[in-house]
Amino acid sequence: MIRPIRDLRKSKGFTLIELLVVIAIIAVLISLLLPAVQSAREAARRSQCINNLKQLGLALANYESTNSTFPMAYPATRVGGAVGGTWGCWSPQTLLLPYLEQGPVYSSINFNLLNQGDAANYVGYLANTTSVCVRVAGFLCPSAPIFPAATMYGSFTTPSNNYFASVGASTQWQGRASNPPNGIFNYNGLASGIRDVTDGTSNTIAFGEWRTGDNSDAKLSVPQDVIEIGASYLGAASDTASNNMPYGAAALPGWLANCATLAKTARGRSFIAQRWDVGMFGRTLGNTLLAPNPPYPNCNNTTGNGDFDNLGMFGMSSFHPGGGNVACADGSVKFLKASTALPTIWALGSKAQGEIISGDSF
């Protein structure tokens, strides 16, 4: 018997229900695999971040070995010859460039000129534009976005910097004769070396992470944005003992609460992580007052459109879940949990206050 032609052509296919079941299974598999893929990517980014900080720590050790001191934030001169002071000074990160395989960038910088300032010094800015706008991979955490769409000197894009040089558990950054910052770095004076780190180089933070600002004063981003808190501080003078922890610990909670309250109505300045060349709080210098990623914004003891060269909090933050990385003065890298107790954070920030730190305290 000869079959009809239509029977020979007939073949079995998938029904609509079968297709839907297959699609549902694929969707479930993707939902299960996606977190694992994202976790693996973050692990790789965090590993690169740790390596960046380790290189910074080793560069610091090599600099200290060569110069018998750690790099400070140093002033430059204005075009007319006057010293620029805190405005336009050069950062520790800049001085470490030769030890980070960035010798050509370092050699192209004219350290006699300010890297920012008033309009009369534009010629000074422009002389260093091609240098200070270079994006240095070793200053960038892969988990952090690049500082968005900001320009300086008219049309040059800012390079970003996710690693601050720590002044310690201190709200000031200038190396004054009395009550200076208790960390490794400061501005123009009281330079220190390994001999001065009596708490131990493995227990003293040299560099920490901070999140990239979003370059928008209209939106508050916690913790990286900076609130201008005015003069209501632990001690308005820059040389009082209360500017260093734990001596100012009693007044710190009230000041943080004040900052959080002002954050509801004040603008949040979003310059963090913008540049690596300017030696100033919020630009390249930070402190260790709180554990990484606190529920408080940064705070600056000033008002108006000034820069960050005042007392304040410019602390640790990161885009890594659970905390952030720090590089210690011996070149080792530690991950600090967001739950780390404040006395431990202060002890890790200070270089010579005699604290004893347990290895399981962070």
CA 97 to chain centre: 17
CA 326 to chain centre: 10
Per-residue pLDDT of the chain (362 residues; tens, 9 = 90+): 555 555 545 556 668 777 888 888 888 877 776 666 567 788 889 999 999 999 999 999 999 999 999 999 998 887 777 777 788 889 999 999 999 999 999 999 999 888 876 666 666 677 888 888 899 999 999 999 999 866 665 566 789 999 999 999 999 898 877 888 999 999 977 778 999 999 999 999 999 999 999 988 888 899 999 988 775 555 556 678 888 999 989 888 988 888 888 888 777 788 899 999 999 999 999 999 999 999 999 998 876 556 788 889 999 999 999 999 999 999 999 999 999 999 999 999 999 999 888 877 77
CA distance 151 to 149: 7
What is the DSSP code (8-state) at residue 3? P
Tokens of 315: 């602390």
Torsion, Cα 38 221 140 156, to 10 degrees, reads 130
All structural domains of the chain with their residue ranges: 40-349
- Residue 92's pLDDT is what? 96
Tokens of 223: 């913790």
Q: What are the DSSP E strand ranges found in the chain?
A: 151-152, 156-157, 163-166, 205-209, 226-228, 268-269, 285-286, 298-300, 312-313, 323-328, 333-337
- Residue 10's pLDDT is what? 54
CA distance 270 to 224: 7
Q: The whole model's pTM is what?
A: 0.87
CB atoms within 10 A of CB 40: 10
φ, ψ for residue 295, nearest 5 deg = -80, 10
CB atoms within 10 A of CB 47: 11
- Residue 83's pLDDT is what? 72
236: nearest Cα among 139, 294, 301: 301
For the four alpha carbons of 330, 165, 187 and 355, in that order, the dihedral sign comes to negative
Torsion, Cα 22 25 30 33, to 10 degrees, reads -140
CA distance 39 to 34: 8
- Residue 152's pLDDT is what? 61
Give Dmax (Cα) for the chain. Answer: 111
CB atoms within 10 A of CB 20: 11
Give the 3-state secondary structure percentages of the chain, helix then strand then coil, rounded to 5: 30, 15, 55
Q: What is the DSSP string of 264-326?
A: TTS-EE--TTS-SSB-SBTTTEE--SS-SS-SS-EEES--SS--S-SSEE-----SSTTEEEE
Q: State the DSSP H helix or E strand holding residue 338, giving kind and residue range, or none if neither.
A: none
